[in-house]
Amino acid sequence: MNPLDQIRTPQGRYPVKLAECEHGELADGLSIRFIFKEPGCGAPECEKKKNGAVGVEELAFLVDASFEADHVMIEKIAKETGPLFGPNKTERLMDWFSESMLASAAIDIQAVVNSDEPDAIRFEPFLNKDRTPITKKKMLPSGGNAFLVYSLAIAIDEKSIMALFGDEEKFPLVKRFAFQDAYDYAFIGVGNDNEGASLAVSLFAFHREITSSDFLAACSEFASSLKGGEVDEDDALRSSLTEKAHSLGIDVNDAEQRASNLDGEIEFYDEPFCKEDVPHLQKMVHAIASLNLDVVGVDLFCSGENDGFLVFPNYISYLWYRFVCRLGQVKIARCEVCGRGFSLLKGRGKPRKYCSEQCKTKAKNARVKSQRDACRELFIEQQLPVSEIAKTVYAEELSSNVRANKRKTPEEAENQVRKNLVGYPAFKHKVDDDLRAGAGAPFVRRCMEEGVLSAEQVAQRISELGIMPKK
């Protein structure tokens, strides 16, 4: 019994007043510290309206474009969610990152499932090793039946396994999904190769119910994927997978002899992705999401109808539950400034272009600066009239393609051009040189005709410079 359990909501959330994320090198074992709300102070908290609250999508992008921890975002999320994995006063930042890797894999795959782009663009995230590299192979065991295998390794800190899944013993996991004329078997296990630990997810897709030798062929392929492709006789893994076979109703004992002859005789070919892969990819998302859902229970007393009387022992299980309830809406976009991904809720207004307010401001500043530079270039170097410059530089603002608050009338656009010119040091120098030259100041005259400078401004500048009017 943990005293913090008193403040736990049916959704598994432990409400916090404050969350602090330590700064420093990740390897130093940084953590996130939570300050909890007192039990019994105020009314029990209700979950926020479903669309506004933090979701698995937000957890997917905790690092910024340079792979540094985004402390501002992490603290903002952590303050809303509280500890993710249970009644913890601190949680390792590394565990949050491991969860983040899991979330971004699920979201990347789901976004591909939901995409309506042509295949070449749609499956691009699977070919990018910085995104979610999934391989698809066609396996042909000699004398057996061909099947497809989709494999993904999610980099995860080895110490995070306990925090995320409670128990390392639950791996390897084998799950079976039968739908229409497809029989999918998902294998999930903890792999280890020279690049560190990973969560290996392999989905084997058959066109008919599998035989025991199919299962063993899948086992040897999976075992080698856990070891980074090496063929390895791991007895513990083998016996654990055999046990799973029994619970799925597959009798492997008689096939085991035959299977040992099979070893090394499976031919395989890389296969390109196509739209027929989509239902299997959907099952991969289900497999990843279900890792966090096996702890969910039903309780008529502690929960309500809204959440189907479900109770969640920790908040991460609730977040994944809500994620699977609206998989069809998952869509991601990349920030136009820094390239970081973010979640877009499908079909809600004009899509966002930037990952954060900072990037939005950066983009806006860059745009304002380039417009300012263009005004100066066009007026001073190319000697275009202000009205022409306004039409060129502010074409978008003058059109009806922009929102009302960004729209400009022709007059406003021209005034903006004038403002951009006078604030420019090189413009001031050019005015001064023109006045001093005593050659009739053609540039200043042009400025006055175009309304960039007023007669008063020019007179004042002449007197400031101490220029005597010519006799």
- Least distance (Å) from Zn ion to the CB of residue 26? 21
Closest CB to Zn ion among residues 226, 337? 337
Residue 337 interacts with Zn ion (CB under 5 A): yes or no: yes
Question: In one letter, which amino acid is 302?
Answer: C
- Least distance (Å) from Zn ion to the CB of residue 342? 8
- Least distance (Å) from Zn ion to the CB of residue 121? 21
Q: Report the side by side order of strands in the sheet with 31-36.
A: 16-21, 31-36, 90-92
Beta bridge partners of 153: 200
> What is the residue-wise DSSP string for 205-265?
EESSPPPHHHHHHHHHHHHHHHTTT-----HHHHHHHHHHHHHTT---HHHHHHHHHHTT-
Half-sphere exposure of 451 (CA within 13 A, CB side): 10
- Least distance (Å) from Zn ion to the CB of residue 84? 24
Query: Could you give the dihedral angle defined by the CA atoms of residues 111, 117, 120 and 124, in that order, rounded to the nearest 10 degrees?
Result: -20
Residue 338 interacts with Zn ion (CB under 5 A): yes or no: yes
Contact 19, 84 (CB under 8 A): no
Sequence length of the chain is 471
Residue 197 interacts with Zn ion (CB under 5 A): yes or no: no
Token digits for 327?
Answer: 């998989």
Residues contacting Zn ion: total by CB under 5 A: 6
| Contact region with Zn ion (CB under 5 A), list: 115-123, 158-166, 291-299, 359-367 | 359-367
Closest CB to Zn ion among residues 92, 340? 340
3-state helix, strand, coil in the chain (%, to 5): 45, 20, 35
Closest CB to Zn ion among residues 70, 95? 70
What is the per-residue binding string for Zn ion in 339-358, x denoting contact by CB under 5 A? Answer: -x--------------x---
Residue 363 interacts with Zn ion (CB under 5 A): yes or no: no
Residue 223 interacts with Zn ion (CB under 5 A): yes or no: no
Residue 335 interacts with Zn ion (CB under 5 A): yes or no: yes
CB atoms within 10 A of CB 351: 11
Among 359, 375, 390, 435, binds Zn ion (CB under 5 A): 359
| Contact region with Zn ion (CB under 5 A), list: 242-250, 314-322, 331-339, 396-404 | 331-339
Residue 73 interacts with Zn ion (CB under 5 A): yes or no: no
Residues in contact with Zn ion by CB under 5 A are 335, 337-338, 340, 355, 359
